[in-house]
């Protein structure tokens, strides 16, 4: 069986803090240690790296460590959501903060070049608002769109992807849905900005991840993706396949039907779990999904969908999905 390529945000192998466990869910881990852990999983060929790297780690260090494990950088994610940018990166009301965010992103762009990564991933988690009446929405949109345009225009040789999410850490994140992100990219008028669809973010936002994937593909903008799972009410970043098997299966089905080729990437926060085992079990599940895609009666499904026959489709889906681990344990 030939499987797709698998990847992971390097933060899958970090430890975490939250507003309660302020001393962290484990001792801090540096960038290089995280890469070692990613390599331990055994199936991970790509990583998305936060930038700046941990203290004292240079791009050359990272390059060497990646080479050691034969892992490639898929993307670089600049940290534009720390204290300095707690009120926003692109949409910060303070021009100096916007400038410092841009400086970080420009550096991240250089790292993308040096590592030969596919994209700069932009997740401006602090861009948005918390309270009604807090912002002028017209101005907020202007700042978000113009800032992103300026960034992308400055690096015409690179690709940028925006990862949307409805909320957290703001109660309302500016890039909050697939459709709103497409609209913003249209307003930019550039051709090197696309979208990274995070399965869990789409679920959290009440979207059908499969439908959003199709919409993005039709717009020519689905340039990356992450998978994980949650209870639909928060970005829990749980192990993919732990809750919503049918919907993640459908998501990958839509990718395959459209001939989307790309890395199947993990974005998970194993707060209390072993990071390597968490990733390994995730990939074990994704392989089952891949087998289920192979086993799926595509013609039967297409016929059912032509009649929008939910039951006929479910029968076909269950046949494939609920046999996908047989003989594999």
Distance of CA 247 to the CA centre of its chain: 17
Near a second copy by CB under 8 A: residue from 141, 190, 262, 300: 141
Touching a second copy, residues 284-303 (CB under 8 A): 284-285, 288, 301-302
Dihedral through CA 321, CA 233, CA 261, CA 187, nearest 10?
A: 150
Which backbone phi and psi does 94 adopt, to 5 degrees? -100, 115
* Cβ 96 vs Cβ 52: under 8 Å: no
Is residue 226 within the footprint of a second copy (CB under 8 A)?
no
| Site residues (CB under 8 A) for a second copy, limited to 26-65 | 26
**Placement of tokens 């979207």 in the chain:** 207
239 binding a second copy? (CB under 8 A): yes
Q: Which one of 155, 269, 286, 293 is in contact with a second copy (CB under 8 A)?
A: 269
Structure tokens at 158: 């690179």
Phi, psi of 319 (to 5 degrees): -55, -45
Residues 91-110 that bind a second copy (CB under 8 A): 93
Tokens 């990958």, residue? 252
Q: Between 113 and 180, name the residue whose CB sits nearer to a second copy.
A: 180
Q: Which of 4, 78, 125, 200 binds a second copy (CB under 8 A)?
A: 125
Q: Rounded to an integer, what distance in angstroms lies between the CA atom of residue 185 and that of residue 312?
A: 38
CB closer to a second copy out of 26 and 45: 26
Q: Provide the pairing of β-strand 119-122 with 128-129.
A: unpaired
Question: Which residues inside 163-202 make contact with a second copy, applying CB under 8 A?
Answer: 166-169, 171-172, 177, 179-180, 182-183, 186
Interaction between residue 325 and a second copy (CB under 8 A)? yes
**Site for a second copy (CB under 8 A): which residue of 68, 146, 294, 309?**
309
Q: In angstroms, give the least distance from the CB of 55 to a second copy.
A: 12
For a second copy, the closer CB: 160 or 285: 285
Q: Of 222, 293, 199, nearest to 253 (Cα)?
A: 293
Least Cβ distance, residue 289 to a second copy (angstroms): 10
Q: Please state, in angstroms and rounded to a whole number, the distance separating the CA atoms of residues 270 and 160.
A: 27
Cα separation, 193 vs 224, in Å, equals 11
* Interface with a second copy, residue 208, by CB under 8 A: yes
Q: Is 272 in the site for a second copy (CB under 8 A)?
A: yes
Residue among 7, 78, 88, 147 that touches a second copy (CB under 8 A):
88
- Tell whether residue 317 is a contact of a second copy (CB under 8 A): yes
- The verdict on 126 binding a second copy (CB under 8 A) reads yes
* C-alpha to C-alpha distance for 104 and 8, rounded to whole angstroms: 22
């Amino acid at each position: 069986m030939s499987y797709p390529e698998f990847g992971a945000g390097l933060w899958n192998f970090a430890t975490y803090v939250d507003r309660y466990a302020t001393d962290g869910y484990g001792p801090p881990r540096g960038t290089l240690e995280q890469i070692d852990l990613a390599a331990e999983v055994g199936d991970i060929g790509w990583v998305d790296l936060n930038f700046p790297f941990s203290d004292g780690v240079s791009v050359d260090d990272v390059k060497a460590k990646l080479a050691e494990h034969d892992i490639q950088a898929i993307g670089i994610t600049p940290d534009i959501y720390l204290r300095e940018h707690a009120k926003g990166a692109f949409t910060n009301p303070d021009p100096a903060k916007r400038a410092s965010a841009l400086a970080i992103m420009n550096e991240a762009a250089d790292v993308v070049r040096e590592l030969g990564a596919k994209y700069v991933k932009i997740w401006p988690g602090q861009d948005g608002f918390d309270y009604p009446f807090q912002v002028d929405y017209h101005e907020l949109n202007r700042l978000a769109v113009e800032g992103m345009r300026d960034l992308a225009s400055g690096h015409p040789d690179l690709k940028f992807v925006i990862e949307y999410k409805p909320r957290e850490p703001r109660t309302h994140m500016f890039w909050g849905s697939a459709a709103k992100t497409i609209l913003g990219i249209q307003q930019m008028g550039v051709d090197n900005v696309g979208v990274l669809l995070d399965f869990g973010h789409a679920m959290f936002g009440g979207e059908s991840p499969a439908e959003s994937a199709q919409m993005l593909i039709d717009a020519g903008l689905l340039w990356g993706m992450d998978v994980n799972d949650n209870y639909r009410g928060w970005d829990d970043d749980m192990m993919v396949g732990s809750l919503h098997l049918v919907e993640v299966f459908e998501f990958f089905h839509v990718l395959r039907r459209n001939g989307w080729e790309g890395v199947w990437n993990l974005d998970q926060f194993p707060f209390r779990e072993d990071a390597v085992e968490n990733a390994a079990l995730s990939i074990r599940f994704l392989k089952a999904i891949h087998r289920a895609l192979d086993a799926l009666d595509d013609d039967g499904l297409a016929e059912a969908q032509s009649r929008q026959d939910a039951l006929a489709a479910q029968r076909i889906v269950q046949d494939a999905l609920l046999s996908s681990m047989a003989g594999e344990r």
